[in-house]
Amino acid sequence: MLAFCGQERCLLDSNSRLRLTPHFVEDFTRRCNGEIVMLGLPEGAIALYPEEVYTEIRRRELGALEIVGSSFAARRSLRRFGALTQPDTITRQGRVTIPAGFREFAGIGINKEVYVVGTEIGVEIWAPERFDAEMKAIQEHLMKKREQEMLADLENKNF
Q: Specify the DSSP element, H or E, that contains 132.
A: helix 128-156
pLDDT band (50, 70, 90) for residue 61:
confident
Range of the domain at 116: 7-126
| Any domain includes 1 | no
Residues 157 and 84 reside in one and the same domain: no
Do residue 69 and residue 133 come from a single domain?
no
- Measured distance CA(116)–CA(8) in Å, rounded: 5
Query: What are the pLDDT digits (tens) for 66-92?
Result: 677 778 777 887 888 888 999 999 999
- Name the band, by pLDDT with cuts 50, 70 and 90, for residue 21: very high
Distances 53 to 9, 100, 103 between C-alpha atoms, Å: 24, 24, 22
If asked whether residues 105 and 70 sit together in one domain, one would say: yes
User: What's the structural domain count of the chain?
Assistant: 2
Instruction: Assess whether pLDDT exceeds 60 at residue 159.
Output: no
Residue 19: predicted pLDDT: 97
Q: How far apart are CA 141 and CA 132, in angstroms?
A: 14
Do 86 and 112 fall into the same domain? yes
